[in-house]
Structure formats: C-alpha cells, structure tokens
C-alpha cells in the first residue's frame, strides 16, 4: 500500500533504490518473525484451557495487535495504490495498527502494576469481564483516532474531486492534528515508563526485604523466599524488558515526526531508520512472548509432538498391516 505522494517540504533526500530494497527486506523478515511468534501465542491460548485467565487475554490482545501491525506493514511494502481515498484508508490503517499495538502494551503494563503494587485488590479488579471491557474500549478508541483523516475527507471536505491523483496528507490531516497524534503517543510512552519504574522498584524492594528478614543459614529453605512468586517475577521482568526496549525504540521516531510537523527538514533515511528501529520492538515483543514465554511455547511444542506421534503410529500400523497381509 505504497502511496504516490507529492514532495513534502519537511522530508528531503529520497531513498535510493538500494536503500529501499534493504529496508524492504529487513521489514519483511521482521514481519514474518512477528507473525510466527504471535501465531504461536494464539495457538497456545486456544489449545491450553489453563491459559484462559485475564492476564492471558491481554497477551492475546497484544498478539492480535502485533499480527495486525505486521499485516499492515507487509501490505504497505508490496501494494502500490493511487488516489486520495485509498491512500487515506492506508494512512488510517497504519494509525489504527500503531495505536492498537501501543495501547495493548499499556494495558499489560497496567495489569502488571496492579499485580505487583496492589496484589490484594488484583483478583477483584482484574477480572475477565473487566479485561474484555478494557480491550473493547481501547480498540474502539484506536479505530476512532485512526479513521479521523478518512472521515474528515469524506464528510467535512465536501469539495473533494475523485479524479485527483496523489495523496495530499498535509491538506487532509492538519499539522495540529498530526502533532496531537504524536503528543498522545509520547504521553503513552511516558505513562508506560513511570509504571515500569514503579514495578521494578517494587519487585526490587520485595526481594531485598525477603532476603534481609531471613537468616542466612535458612534463607534458601525459607517459605518467605519461596512465596515470592517466581512466575510473577519472571513475567514482570520479561514485560519490563519489552517495555524498556519499546520506549527506547519508539521515542526517536515520535520526536522525529514531531520535529517534521513543526517545520524541520528531516531526511527520509532518518525517518525510515527510526521507524524501522521502532518496528524491532514489535519483533522483540513477539519473540519474547511467542518463543521465550514458557506457557505458550510448551503448549505448542506438546501439541506438535502429539500430532507427530499420532502420525507415526498411523504409519507404523499401516506398515504392520501391509507386512502381515504380504506374509499371509
């Protein structure tokens, strides 16, 4: 879904053919890794009924957002379109995908924050019903924010000429609106940073308290140390790694876009490089939860091994029956 756009006064130094092919190859590889990792999460959630918990519903929502973003990325790389309406539809899809991805990570961060900082109210607040309401509300918000340019063109701009070629996003998506979008993304990143810091501080203080209150001789065998939920800490540290890398990689493109909208001349090489770096966070996210996260990985491996065993048994039974028939 590559749009034929006119030159923007704030984007200079168009990419060469070699640079375009390099970025295209990198993003394609990342997209397939994202699809594979998140499909593993979805299969694990479907096959294992023990994973039907509020936390895992949020993981599935994140997997769906990653798959959506990967499909949009592949479409934007290999499909070329003309015309304002189709180009704005593409623009809206990208906005929906990005917001969907970021808000899904934010919801998981909030869930971990409640689990670590307020464990006594976790069961009452983080229920399946509340999680589903949160997911539906955030998805509706993503669609509302994403389709604004398209709705503005189809409804507000009554003088649209359908024969117009190109995609004049600067005329349809005003600078104020674009700056608002980037500011919202930066605000979400700040909130995620604050919550993640609070989570890490709480985990660190709990671990130190457990070690300081237990005698050295009985520390390993103490119930206090073992009551620190290892799975909770592992999930928290995994999420913290994903969030920290997400913040590091998504902040530069947001600042670059903000400077571009203000009026600074930003080369396309810098813009595409920062956006590619941001997309690597989605790839890391997919690898961590799809391949490293034990529950999803072991469920899919067991299902695959069970399928292979069944096929082998059928093959062995078929060979034995054929041998018996030949012998008789």
Q: What CA–CA distance (Å, rounded) separates 173 from 146?
A: 11
Percent of the chain having pLDDT more than 90?
12
Query: What global pTM score does this model have?
Result: 0.77
pLDDT in tens, 222-280: 544 454 556 667 777 788 888 888 888 888 888 887 787 777 787 888 888 888 888 99
Top-confidence residue, 90 or 314: 90
pLDDT band at residue 94 using 50, 70 and 90 as cut-offs: confident
79: alpha, beta or left? (left if phi > 0; alpha if psi -120 to 50)? beta
Whether residue 57 contacts residue 139, with contact meaning beta carbons closer than 8 Å, is answered with no
Q: Give the model's pLDDT for residue 316.
A: 57
Q: Indicate if the pLDDT at residue 192 is higher than 50.
A: yes
Maximum Cα–Cα distance across the chain = 87
Q: State how far the alpha carbon of 307 is from the alpha carbons of 145, 312, 314, in Å.
A: 44, 9, 11
Q: What is the mean pLDDT of the chain?
A: 76
| Residue 102 buriedness (CB in 10 A; 0-12 / 13-18 / 19+) | buried
Q: Give the model's pLDDT for residue 165.
A: 44
What domains are defined for the chain? 2-299 (1.20.1070.10)
Total Cβ atoms within 10 A of residue 164:
12
Q: Which residue has the tokens 């919202």?
A: 184
Q: Give the model's pLDDT for residue 234.
A: 72
> In the predicted model, what is the mean pLDDT of residues 278-288?
89
Q: What CA–CA distance (Å, rounded) separates 184 from 206?
A: 33
């Amino acid at each position: 879904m590559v749009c034929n756009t006119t030159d923007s006064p704030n984007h200079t130094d168009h990419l060469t053919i070699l640079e375009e092919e390099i970025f295209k190859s990198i993003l394609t590889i990342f997209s397939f890794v994202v699809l594979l990792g998140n499909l593993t999460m979805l299969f694990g959630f479907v096959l294992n009924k023990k994973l039907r918990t509020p936390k895992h519903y949020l993981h599935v929502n994140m997997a769906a957002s990653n798959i959506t973003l990967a499909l949009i990325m592949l479409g934007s790389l290999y499909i070329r379109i003309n015309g304002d309406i189709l180009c704005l539809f593409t623009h809206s899809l990208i906005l929906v995908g990005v917001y969907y991805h970021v808000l899904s990570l934010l919801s998981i961060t909030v869930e971990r924050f409640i689990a670590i900082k307020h464990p006594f109210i976790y069961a009452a607040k983080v229920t399946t019903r509340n999680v589903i309401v949160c997911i539906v509300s955030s998805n509706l918000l993503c669609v509302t924010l994403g389709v604004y340019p398209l709705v503005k063109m189809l409804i507000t701009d009554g003088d649209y000429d359908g024969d117009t070629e190109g995609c004049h996003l600067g005329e349809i998506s005003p600078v104020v609106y674009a700056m608002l979008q980037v500011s919202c993304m930066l605000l979400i990143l700040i909130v995620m940073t604050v919550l993640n810091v609070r989570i890490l501080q709480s985990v660190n203080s709990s671990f130190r308290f457990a070690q300081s209150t237990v005698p050295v001789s009985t520390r390993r065998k103490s119930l206090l140390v073992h009551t620190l939920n290892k799975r909770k800490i592992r999930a928290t540290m995994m999420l913290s790694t994903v969030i920290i890398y997400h913040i590091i990689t998504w902040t530069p493109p947001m600042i670059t876009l903000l400077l571009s909208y203000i009026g600074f001349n930003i080369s396309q090489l810098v813009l595409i490089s920062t956006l590619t770096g941001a997309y690597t966070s989605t790839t890391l996210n997919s690898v961590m939860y799809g391949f490293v996260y034990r529950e999803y990985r072991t469920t899919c491996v067991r299902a695959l091994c069970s399928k292979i065993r069944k096929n082998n048994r059928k093959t062995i039974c078929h060979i034995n029956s054929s041998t018996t028939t030949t012998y008789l």
